[in-house]
Amino acid sequence: MTSFMKQLNNDMADMLVRAQPALVRVASGRRGMGSGIIWGANGLIVTNAHVVHRRGPSVIFADDAKLPAQVLGIDRQNDLAALQVDASDLPAIEVGRSRELRSGQVVVALGFPWGITGAVTTGIVVATGENLMGMPGGSRELIAVSLQLRPGFSGGPLIDDQGRVIGVNVMMAGPEIGLAIPAHVVEDFLSKVAAQHHQPAPESEAMASPAVSV
C-alpha cells in the first residue's frame, strides 16, 4: 500500500471515530426503522420526518440502550423531525459548514442500510442548492452526492473530511445520486422548534411539550 493510500485510510478512520458515536437507530412502529443523529448532548436527536411514522418513537444507541423519544417538531417540506430523549452527556456530532460545500468535495454517509450496523458509503458532492437538475423535492435546498443511499440510511449523517455533519441523508434520486438536507437547513428548523417550545427550557418541559410543525 502506498503512503498516500495509508494516509487516506488513516484519515477516513479518524473521521469515522469522530462521527460514528453520534449515529443512532430510530424505531417507529413494528416496521419503521431508520437512522438518526445525536445533535445535542442533552438528548436532541435529528432524523427524517418519514422515519417517524407515529408518536412515541424509540432511539437505539451504539451500546443497544433503547430510550423512548418525544417528537418535538416535524418539517414535512424538508423531511425533518426533531426528537428528545431523557438523557444527558451524549456524544453530539459537530456541525460543519454546509454553506461552504463545493462540487467535487469528498463526503461520507452513515446509517443502517437493511439493518447493517454502522455502515458507511463514500462519494463526492455533485451539486448543492434548490431545484437540482429537476430532482424530486420541489424547491427545497438539497445536497446531491454521487453515492448510494440504501433503505436505512435515511436520517443518518452526511459528514465532511473532518467528521462534521454537513447534511442529513434523505433519499435516492437515481441509481448513483443520493440527496441530503444541508446542515444549515436543519439548524434553521431546530431554531424554529426551540422558539415554539420557548427554549431554553428545562428538559422535562421539552419532553412534555406537544409536537409542532414548522
79 is catalytic: yes
127-136 residues labelled b (16+ CB within 10 A) or e (exposed): ebeeebeeee
Q: What is the DSSP string of 19-70?
A: HGGGEEEEEETTTEEEEEEEEETTTEEEE-GGG--SSS-EEE-TT--EEEEE
Q: Is the dihedral of CA 109, 193, 66, 91 positive or negative?
A: positive
Would residue 89 show up in a list of annotated catalytic residues for this protein?
Answer: no
Which of these is catalytic: 50, 53, 161, 188?
A: 50
| Single-letter amino acid code for the residue at 25 | R
Please state, in angstroms and as integers, the Cα–Cα distance from residue 80 to each residue in 65, 133, 162, 213, following that order. Answer: 23, 22, 24, 10
Reduced to 3 states, what is the DSSP secondary structure of residue 84? strand
Among residues 28, 35, 58, 154, the one annotated as catalytic is 154
188 is catalytic: no
Single out the catalytic residue among 28, 35, 75, 79. Answer: 79
Active-site residue list: 50, 79, 154
